[in-house]
Amino acid sequence: MIHPGTLTNSTILITGGAGFIGSNLTEALLDQGNKVVCLDNFMTGHRKNIEGFLTHENYTLIEGDIRNYNDCQKAVNGCDYVFHQAALGSVPRSIIDPMTATDVNVGGFVKMLFAAKEAKAKRFVYAASSSTYGDHPDLPKVEEKIGNPLSPYAITKFADELYARNFSDIYGIETVGLRYFNVFGRRQDPNGAYAAVIPKFVMQMMQHEAPVINGDGLYSRDFTYIDNVIQANQLAAITPGEKLYTTATPHEVFNVAFGERTDLNQLFDILQENLATLDPQIKELKTIHGPNRAGDIPHSLASIDKARRLLGYEPQFSVRDGLKEACGWYWENLR
């Protein structure tokens, strides 16, 4: 279900278009009559995510890297809007390899942003991150109050916000940062050392394995279903500047979340409830508790008041509704 505020009849560049969020954005935007250009180097994206688009007359795949300025220029040429989703995600990965995380998330970001400015794109909408809030203790998180970042990944995503605001101030390019809060849903990769918690748990449970919860399971997150994120991106692109921007600099940052906290124990219970209707044996599974993970914040909860007020954002899927949809997708596609 997609919000009435939809983007149509435009040419759109999606960086990281073969990734989880990028491929879902691609599907929605093609369905709405847009032309979509995908730029991806398949470092973390998957070809299977875009197989269904390759023969679409309005879809173009460019295999390239945002760290290569020529690739950025080629991809953005003739595009009205940029949805910059390309990044090297994961807090643990950034702790192990901060150099590559910085190279991709900051160096690649600046190249893509400058290319978009040079190509005179109407607006540059980019994936920011809730990790930017760092050690700030307040809940819910509001856009104007951030703390010290707790990982190299968080630093890179905050640096992107600073660059975007600076470029908007200097060059006048319109930019919007969307601070995603724990996005989940169809096509999210369950495999690999840095898999997100929801697809990882689902795959383990479908294989009758006990999921490992970091810590006591009371750490909580504002889990956000993918269709809410699709809605927010489109609104960030089409909302008129006079309504969107609150200062002379055409840059804003918004939380994108549902606005509800779910701890890991509750998450397991909801997943088990959904999956047990498909496989009764899953009802017998118990969790295993391991150590807390370095760089993790204990709790995350977003205020979405600003996005509601300036974008008209109204998330259509609750956590429980989104988890039901996601479990059904994984059961059908990844068993």
Helix, strand, or coil here: 158? helix
153 is catalytic: yes
The amino acid at residue 316 is Q
The residues that bridge with 119 in the sheet, in sequence order, are none
Cα–Cα distance for residue pair 217/10, rounded to 1 Å: 44
What number of H helices and E strands is found in the chain? Answer: 12, 13
Prior bond of 140 cis (ω within 30°):
yes
Cα torsion through 179, 244, 175, 296, rounded to 10: -10
The residues that bridge with 15 in the sheet, in sequence order, are 39, 84
- Calculate helix-pair angle for 264-276, 319-334, nearest 10 degrees: 50
Helix, strand, or coil here: 190? coil
Neighbouring CB atoms inside 10 A of 33's CB total: 12
Q: Are 10 and 82 in contact (CB under 8 A)?
A: no
Catalytic residue chosen out of the listed positions 153, 219, 245, 330: 153
The residues that bridge with 253 in the sheet, in sequence order, are 177
Return the active site residues.
153
